[in-house]
Structure 1
């Protein structure tokens, strides 16, 4: 997920983001988490227990006109690293295989895809990405970062494989990415 278009340089200025209801301190924190200016942030979708954003909701069309299907974007570098460990373990391949064999899981994953599309549609209509969610949904698992971000943003029971990835993080001792304190220093009040 890191390196996607949403975290490339450029985008709306602070005042524009504030007009959309995003606290500039949160945008600052996300930019520091990403190591570059955040783009398209419309809301903090989930907060880490350290009170910093760890998932942001991103506009389906960035300010420069680029279509962007990744509505829920995992921003905390420690969370990203933990999920990357799961990806490197082959978990995505195992999950994709299970989708082919388990009709109930496949139906719940398709429902997660539909939920993702509904939530993005509220943010705007972008014909170029119509019907395309993220993370490989609904037929495969391509990016656990997106599935975890969706699960954190939407809550338990919405994305079954995102929930499974969060449980796998717990099982492997990686589920408390905030345990060492905030990943970046909180921004000073403006």
Structure 2
């Protein structure tokens, strides 16, 4: 089986992601989206962590500026608006369900984890719960796959077309064994 389209993570990528997150990166299996400068923006994470824990969030937003912008957007209660849009628009709701199925298919190509079968992320396919997860999926899959993730990215005060990496000073990351 072919894996979803993402780059293998290098040691430099893992170091960058760890700095972005402010903690050691866990179980990164690839970089699913990058900043225009090449830095990781979205990581692909194994569906089962090394300690055996099921992890449904395949696409994880790591870029600090993107994370901050989507956090700010969530604070505006825009998720209520998006949930209402889903309730009112049959076509949008079907497109969102297709995004959920696409996400599940991507994760299943990496590995099957029975405990999370049918569970994607971000509230898909029924509601909007986490714009970080939906934006990460939209960035990884490309425009047109996740309609709510696309809407959130368009509305956020951040763009994948503009590098904000140098504006971010990462915290020191403790060693993995600390």
**TM-score, L = length of structure 1:** 0.81
> Distance between the aligned counterparts of 2:169 and 2:34, measured in 1?
13
Counterpart contact for 1:148–1:163, Cα < 8 Å: yes
Query: Shift in Å at residue 21 of structure 1?
Result: 3.9
Q: Does 1:181 align with 2:135?
A: no
In structure 2, the CA distance between the partners of 1:64 and 1:180, relative to structure 1 (3 Å rule), is: closer
Name stretches of at least 5 consecutive residues in structure 2 with no aligned partner: 1-6, 171-178
Deviation at 1:184, TM superposition (A): 5.4
User: Which stretches of structure 1, 4 residues or longer, exceed 6 Å deviation after superposition?
Assistant: none
**1:57–1:29: structure 2 CA closer, same or farther, 3 Å change rule?**
same
Aligned to 1:44, the other structure's residue is in SS state: strand
Equivalent position of 1:67 in the other structure: 54
C-alpha contact (below 8 Å) 1:50/1:181 kept by paired residues? no
- Which residue number corresponds to residue 40 of structure 2? 53
The answer (yes or no) to whether the contact 1:29–1:184 under 8 Å persists in 2 is no
Confirm or deny that 1:77 pairs with 2:64: yes
Q: Deviations over 1:40-81 (max 9, x none)?
A: 100000001121101000100000000000000000111100
Give the Å deviation of 1:97. 1.2
Q: Contact 1:55–1:153 (CA<8 Å) still a contact in 2?
A: yes
Describe the SS at the equivalent of 1:181.
helix
Are 1:43 and 2:69 an aligned pair?
Answer: no
Give 1:138's match in structure 2, choosing from 110, 122, 125.
Answer: 125
Provide structure 1 residue ranges, at least 5 long, that are not aligned to the other structure: 1-19, 186-190
Q: List aligned pairs for 1:1-190, cutoff 5 A.
A: 21-169=8-156, 173-175=157-159, 178-179=163-164, 181=166, 183=168
Could you tell me whether the CA contact under 8 Å between 1:45 and 1:56 is conserved in 2? yes
1:22, distance to aligned residue in structure 2 (A): 2.2
Task: Find the residue that maps to 1:66 and give its secondary structure.
Answer: coil
Instruction: Give 3-state SS (helix, strand or coil) of 2:166's partner.
Output: coil
